[in-house]
Structure 1
Amino acid sequence: MNILIAYISMTGRNKKIAEHLADYLEEHNADVTLEQMIDTDAFDLDSYDAVIIETYTYNDGEVPDEAKDFYDDLEDVDLKRTKFAVLGSSSKEHLHFGRAVDYFTMRLNSSNGEQVSDSVKIDQDPNEDDFKRVDQLGNYVLKSLNKD
C-alpha cells in the first residue's frame, strides 16, 4: 500500500497531524510518503494507491496561497479512481470553518478520485478525540485498499 500524505501547515498544527497520521498508517504496514503540498506534483497523484490531503483554511474560507498551484492543477488531473481522503485544521470562530477542506474534497471528486472517508475538520489544536478521528480516517483508507 503506497499512500501519499500531502499537507500544508502555517503554524505547525497540520504538520503535527500529518506526522501522527503517517505514523499510524506505517504501524499498519502502509508505505507512506509525507511531503508538503508545495513540493507535491498533482499530476503524480495517480501513481499512489491512496492520497490524503491536509490543509488549513485561510482568511475568509480560502485555499492557502501555498496550496493554490497544487489546487489549480487538480482541475486538469485525472485521478483514475485513486482513493482519497481530506482533513485539516481551522478555527470554529471563523464563519467559513474548514472551507478549504471542502474545496479540496470537491476538487478531488471532480478529478475522478474515489473518496473513501468523510472529511475531517479539526478546531485549532488537535486533542485526543481529534486524533481518534484522524486514526479513523486512516482506517477507512486502509480498509479501502485492503478490499482491492
Structure 2
Amino acid sequence: MKTFIGYVSMSGNTEDMANILKETLLQSGCEVDLLNLETVDVHALKDYDCIFLGAYTWGDGDLPYEVEEFFEELRHLNLEGVKAACFGSGDTLYPKFCMAVDIIETTLQEQGCDVYKDKLKIELSPESDKEVDECRQFAKSVYQWANKGEKLTYV
C-alpha cells in the first residue's frame, strides 16, 4: 500500500507521532513517504492509497499558520476514493484540545476522502510506552481498515 504521512510540528511532538506511524507502517510492508506539510504539493496526495495528515493545534483551536495555504489548496481538490486518517498533538490546558485534528478530518471528508472513524490525539509528546503503543495501534488499525481487513504482514 502506497502511504503518505504529512505533518506539521513546532516542538517535535507531532513529528514524533508521524515517525512512529511510519515505522509501524513500514513493518507492515507499506511504501511510506513522510514529509512536512509545508513542503508538499497538495496534488501529490492523489498518488497515494492512504494518507495520514497530522498537526498540532495552535491558539484557540486553529490549524498552525504554516499549513494554512496547504489546506486552502486542499479545499479545491477532489480526493474521492482516497483513504485518510488524522492525528495530532495538543495540550489539555487549552479548551479546544487537538481541534486541528478535527479540522483536518472535516476538510478531508469535504474533499471526498474516506476518513478512518477514529482520530489519534496525544497530549504533548508520545513519551510513555502507553502513548507510543497508542500510535502503533492506530497505524495498524488504519492499515487493516484501508486493506479491508487483510492480515498484517509483520510479526
Dislocated runs of 4+, deviation >6 Å: none
* Residue identity opposite 1:132 in structure 2: D
Aligned position for 1:67 = 67
1:94, 1:113 → 2: CA distance? 29
* Residue identity opposite 2:60 in structure 1: D
CA contact (8 A) 1:117 1:141 kept: no
Aligned position for 1:140 = 141
> 1:32-78 deviations in whole A, cap 9, x for unaligned?
00000001122221110000001000011110010111111111111
1:95, 1:87 → 2: CA distance? 18
Aligned position for 1:95 = 95
CA contact (8 A) 2:7 2:15 kept: yes
2:52, 2:114 → 1: CA distance? 11
1:96, 1:71 → 2: CA distance? 19
2:15, 2:118 → 1: CA distance? 20
1:143, 1:38 → 2: CA distance? 29
Kindly report which structure 2 residues correspond to 1:3-42, keeping only aligned pairs within 5 A, or say none.
3-42=3-42
1:143, 1:5 → 2: CA distance? 16
* Residue identity opposite 2:135 in structure 1: V
Give secondary structure in 2 for the equivalent of 1:29.
Answer: coil
- Structure 1: where are the runs of 5+ without partners? none
2:5, 2:103 → 1: CA distance? 17
Aligned-residue CA RMSD in angstroms? 1.3
Number of aligned residue pairs: give it. 148
Q: TM-score, normalised by structure 1?
A: 0.95
Percent identical among aligned pairs is: 28
1:106, 1:65 → 2: CA distance? 18
Q: TM-score, normalised by structure 2?
A: 0.91
